Chain A
Amino acid sequence: MTSPVTLSAQHLTRFHGRQCVVNDVSFVLRRGEVLGLLGHNGAGKSTTLQMLAGALAPGAGVIEVCDFDLAQRPDLAKSCLGYLPEHPPLYRDMRVDDYLRFAARLHRVAPARLAEHLQRAKQRCGLLECGHRLIGTLSKGFQQRVGIAQAIIHQPAVVILDEPTVGLDPAQIREIRELIRTLGDSSSVILSTHLLHEVEQVCDRAVILRQGKLIFDGSIDDLRQHSDIESGFLQLTADRTQEETPP
């Protein structure tokens, strides 16, 4: 794998109060790669992604997006990023088209290219029919698609998706996974999930977090070598239950 690095995170650390949520996490993402960020609930996935997206500043560590330092040149770095948070950031009283146009302007899409970007994002996410609907009246699956459309409308080099398939029905999950795989052709994608088979189906590489620490970074084949993938994951996170006793 020699394609250029689009995102690199070095020694990320973040505290919530005195609790260390993310502890010295480093990894890189290359162009055209789909990376799965795997971990149980509370392993620090969302916090890591929020830091990568520039919504939270890391307590320590350096993030570079397309060779721009996220802390030093936030505007340049962030315009190479698309981010779908855990709860899609939708304004329920806006129409789909208006919302996507707003997201595109926020991400500095030139006014002349706005219509083209809007059309392409809607087409990729299957939203061509519902441009005039109010977001609040859409079903959860479609709201999730609007959330993804918002993340890709400016055609960023890196797309960050936080649990994109949670709460959807099986048919919708399949569609979203298809979409993620096609995204991987043009951009790099990071998605977080706690579902193993999702990583196996969609991702080229996986990173596993446990209690804020990185415990695995390798290809899906490497993960499979821990005999079967399911037991591999369980094995890697085995002593979780003993360590993670609630306070």
Chain B
Amino acid sequence: MILTLARKELHSLFAAPSTWWMLALLQFILAWFLLARMDDYLQVQAQLAQTDSAPGATISIAAPLAGALALLLMMLTPLFSMRLIAEERRNQTWLLLASAPISVTRIVLGKFLGLLGLLSLIIAAGGLMMLTLLLGTPADLGLIASNLLGVWLLAASYAALGLYCSAITPQPIVAAFGALAVSFGLWLLELGSGVLRVLSPNLHFQNLNVGLVSSADLCYFALFIAIFLLLAIRHLRREQEGR
């Protein structure tokens, strides 16, 4: 039942031309970024070779690429997530789901998984791009894996946040701006200093970005996703019950 909904969601994401445009643009930017980093690295490679424990190709090229992908997904995920529930309400199709024998929890999970499917595809494409390093040099596959895991968790967090924003408003655009504003705010928290930094998903991504997979970070992401999904479920349920 959840999968039926997830598949339908993925299908309708790919039915929109804007999705294809965004995917193409994203690939273009990533490829550009990869080549630019590679260029920089090749220029300083001769000097690096003379120093002890010089940074390798993976941490100089693949890790920044993952950082760029994370930033791009922060901006793109709200555009994908805005329609999930808000548009169903606006088109009155929400009643089809609400009157079907499927609980609100499953609706929310199905939609979340559908969006996560699309994001996973994007991240897989980014991963393939990182693996092109193997054509010219041995790469640190562990570091690449931890980076991909980090981006994936970050994207899933943004998807959960976007889903919640989409659940609380009938206007997709408002949902997109809301999700973007919150994720931008969380990003700024990371740039600042103080205790609040630990709230930012980006801080936890930094660890994975340098290859450090710690259970604390994984728990943080799991909590972040669970909280926003639960908030969305709670909101929809209360709405059905009329406060």
A: residues with CB less than 8 A from B are 14-16, 50, 53-57, 59, 74-79, 81, 83, 85-94, 98, 102-103, 105-108, 150
Known pairs A79-B101, A94-B11 / 4 extra A-B pairs, C-beta < 8 Å: A14-B242, A89-B94, A106-B100, A107-B101
CB distance from B1 to the nearest CB of A (A): 8
Using Cβ atoms and an 8 Å threshold, which residues of chain A touch B100? Answer: 78, 103, 106-107
Q: How far is the CA of A219 from the CA of B221 in the complex (A)?
A: 61
User: A57-B240, A105-B4 are contacts. A94–B101 as well, Cβ < 8 Å?
Assistant: no
Q: Are B101 and A55 in contact (CB under 8 A)?
A: no
Q: Are B103 and A57 in contact (CB under 8 A)?
A: no
Q: Are B16 and A93 in contact (CB under 8 A)?
A: yes
Name the residue among A15, A56, A92 with the largest chain B CB count within 10 angstroms. A56
Chain B residue, CB-CB nearest to A76: B101
Chain B residue, CB-CB nearest to A55: B98
Q: How far is the CA of A102 from the CA of B7 in the complex (A)?
A: 10
Report the tally of A-B residue pairs with Cβ distances under 8 A: 80
Chain B residue, CB-CB nearest to A78: B101
Using Cβ atoms and an 8 Å threshold, which residues of chain B touch A55? Answer: 95, 98-99, 240
Q: Is B241 interfacial (CB 8 A cutoff)?
A: yes
Q: How far is the CA of A56 from the CA of B104 in the complex (A)?
A: 12
Q: Are B15 and A93 in contact (CB under 8 A)?
A: yes
Query: Chain B, 59-71, contact with A by CB distance < 8 Å: what is the 0/1 string?
Result: 0000000000000
Q: Is B92 interfacial (CB 8 A cutoff)?
A: yes
- Picked from B91, B93, B94, B95, the residue with its CB within 8 Å of the CB of A83 is B95
- Picked from B8, B15, B94, B101, the residue with its CB within 8 Å of the CB of A102 is B8
Q: How far is the CA of A107 from the CA of B98 in the complex (A)?
A: 11
Using Cβ atoms and an 8 Å threshold, which residues of chain B touch A78? Answer: 99-101
Q: Is B96 interfacial (CB 8 A cutoff)?
A: yes
Q: Are B95 and A59 in contact (CB under 8 A)?
A: no
CB distance from A87 to the nearest CB of B (A): 4
Chain A residue, CB-CB nearest to B16: A93
Q: Are B15 and A94 in contact (CB under 8 A)?
A: yes
Q: How far is the CA of A226 from the CA of B15 in the complex (A)?
A: 55
User: A57-B240, A87-B92, A106-B4 are contacts. A75–B103 as well, Cβ < 8 Å?
Assistant: yes
User: A76-B101, A81-B99, A107-B100 are contacts. A91–B93 as well, Cβ < 8 Å?
Assistant: yes
Using Cβ atoms and an 8 Å threshold, which residues of chain B touch A81? Answer: 99
- Picked from A56, A90, A102, the residue with its CB within 8 Å of the CB of B242 is A56
Q: Are B101 and A89 in contact (CB under 8 A)?
A: no
Chain B residue, CB-CB nearest to A150: B96
Q: How far is the CA of A14 from the CA of B98 in the complex (A)?
A: 17
- A-B contact list, 28 entries, CB within 8 Å: A14-B242, A50-B99, A53-B99, A54-B98, A54-B99, A55-B95, A55-B99, A55-B240, A56-B242, A74-B103, A75-B101, A79-B101, A81-B99, A83-B99, A85-B99, A86-B92, A88-B92, A89-B95, A92-B91, A93-B12, A94-B12, A94-B15, A102-B4, A103-B96, A105-B4, A106-B1, A106-B5, A107-B100
